[in-house]
Amino acid sequence: MKITRQEVEAVARLARLALDESELDALTGQMDAILGYVEQLNELNTDGILPTAHAVPVENAFRVDVARQGIGIDKALQNAPETGMDSFRVPKVIE
């Protein structure tokens, strides 16, 4: 086994996904198969090979430091599930 059911549950917690029992069962088998498949990368010796994060080299993109118009509060909030006092409203964080 590349991954256990217990590890899958831990990953679901990290990923903030409330998965039910049948989803956790299915994912354990599927992730195990996929992780088994990706194991083949270890056939390759990559000592001294630099990782590629972007295929086209990118450098810091600087621009002149001038203020620009934002989209404004109304538009920023227009899709929010719940708002109040010109803000996004969320469930209580600290009891």
Partner 1 sequence: MDLTGYTLHELRQLLLRRETSSVEVTRAFLDRIAATDEGLNLFITVSEQEALQAAELADLRLSQADAAASPVLTGIPLALKDIFVTAGVRTTCASKILENFIPPYDGTAVSKVKEAGAVLLGKLNMDEFAMGSSNENSAFGPARNPWNRDYVTGGSSGGSAACVAARQAVASLGTDTGGSIRQPASHCGVVGLKPTYGRVSRYGVIAYASSLDQVGPLTRDVEDCALLLGVVAGHDPADSTSIHRDVPDYCATLRDGVAGMRLGLPREYFIDGLDPEVKQTVEKAIAVYKDLGAEIVEVSLPHTQYAVACYYLIATAEASSNLARYDGVRFGLRRDEGQGLIEMYRQSRAAGFGDEVKRRIMLGTYALSSGYYDAYYLKAQKVRTLIRQDFLEAFGKVDAILTPVAPTPAFRIDEKTADPLQMYLSDIFTIPVNLAGTCAMSIPCGVSTAGLPIGLQLIGSPFGEETILRAAYSFEQATDWHRQQAKL
- 30 binding partner 1? (CB under 8 A): yes
- 56 binding partner 1? (CB under 8 A): yes
Member of 21, 22, 66, 71 binding partner 1 (CB under 8 A):
71
Question: For residue 31, which of 47, 42, 19 has the smallest C-alpha distance?
Answer: 19
CA distance 81 to 64: 36
- 70 binding partner 1? (CB under 8 A): no
Dihedral of the alpha carbons of 13, 18, 22, 23, in degrees to the nearest 10? -70
Number of helices (H), then strands (E), in the chain: 3, 2
Binding-site ranges for partner 1 (CB under 8 A): 3, 7-8, 11-12, 14-19, 23, 27, 30-31, 33-35, 37-44, 46, 49-56, 58, 61, 63, 71, 75-76, 78-82, 88, 90-93
